[in-house]
Structure 1
């Protein structure tokens, strides 16, 4: 993605935090005609031994995306964090224009399919453990026959992250706007409040540095 250097968040912990807080991702790869094919689905970001980042998920078996991953394992995954409009009223001078602030992560990945029932069951237990640990017992109580039927209807995958980009666009380069911007976002919508919290995390409320490009 377009990455002005002042918005390039190189700390992997920021990217990982965003992926875990906003796990509903877009998986993008090419279909058999060479066009982009996109699936929107939750992914669990897991760091394996040695620091390798892997994204775990699954899709319905009728979804052809798993076949595209099988034929062409290289793909892109995007995560979108909080985002919101920014009024030029936050600037002390009038010669400014509106913009949109946002946080996003892009991953270049190598896909490995998970098709064996026991491996898919282990994958589902990982996802359950992340999103609703209390459901684990209910899943076990459904019985093996029902579980196998459900497992047959999905294809799991592990997406090894080979390249990672994290964009944090929060008006870092306009220090004169930070105090008013933080005040506006703190009193706004859920996304705006989340942006205000990121400003605090990055130490921007006291006025720091890091263009209005999108």
Structure 2
């Protein structure tokens, strides 16, 4: 992805935290004739491989997993908060509208996980990860026969990350007064996405929270 230097993020811990928080990914492969995308929850294992490893599963009826046989690289896109930016929030003139957003792209070669126990473990790990914030998490206990019947309808896979790119486009290239104006407007917005962008600006940009 195109990343101007002002927006590039290479901090591994920051990228890991982002992927773990925004783990519902757009997963893209190529069947040799055209791109193909699925939308999947992905777990990130930061200690598996030089850049970590992604693990997920999809319906067996989804033809995308068959693309893995080519050995080609796949792209997983993790989307964060985003917001329209009005030039009326800038001090600098003239100016034009833009869009601020955060995204992380992870590339790697996916392979199918075929071992039964590994698939069971992955599904349990996925349930635990997404139930963890609930007051009464669902334990995920299912009869083995019922669970195994459902498992025959999915394909689990893993992607050791070969390279990863982070783009935090939050106005870091603008004069301080412009960045502050954007933060003030977004932080007072009723839109949850806009407020989330403002919160990211607190750590990525030099803005005054109290303005």
TM norm structure 2: 0.90
Contact 2:170 2:205 (8 Å CA) reproduced? no
Pairwise CA distance, 1:13: 1.9
User: Kindly tell me: are residues 73 and 122 of structure 1, through their superposed partners in 2, closer, same or farther at Cα, counting changes over 3 Å?
Assistant: farther
What's the CA shift string for 1:23-74, capped at 9, x where partnerless? 110111111x421011111111111256541111000000011111233342
**Distance in 1 between the 2:169 and 2:155 partners?**
35
**Distance in 2 between the 1:73 and 1:124 partners?**
25
Can you give the 5+ residue segments of structure 2 that lack an aligned partner in the other structure? none
**Distance in 1 between the 2:47 and 2:101 partners?**
28
Pairwise CA distance, 1:104: 0.5
Residue 92 of structure 1 aligns to a residue in which SS?
A: coil
**Distance in 2 between the 1:151 and 1:73 partners?**
26
Contact 2:24 2:39 (8 Å CA) reproduced? yes
**Distance in 2 between the 1:173 and 1:151 partners?**
49
Residue 171 of structure 1 aligns to a residue in which SS?
A: coil
Within the alignment, does 1:2 sit opposite 2:6 as a pair? Answer: no
* Residue equivalent to 1:130: 129
Contact 1:27 1:77 (8 Å CA) reproduced? yes
Q: How many residues align?
A: 203
Residue 100 of structure 2 aligns to a residue in which SS?
A: strand
Contact 1:117 1:152 (8 Å CA) reproduced? no
* Residue equivalent to 2:187: 186
What's the CA shift string for 1:84-124, capped at 9, x where partnerless? 10000111133000000000001111212112322110110
CA RMSD of superposed structures (Å): 1.7
* Residue equivalent to 2:64: 65
TM norm structure 1: 0.89
Q: Which runs of 4+ in 1 moved over 3 A?
A: 49-52
**Distance in 2 between the 1:50 and 1:27 partners?**
20
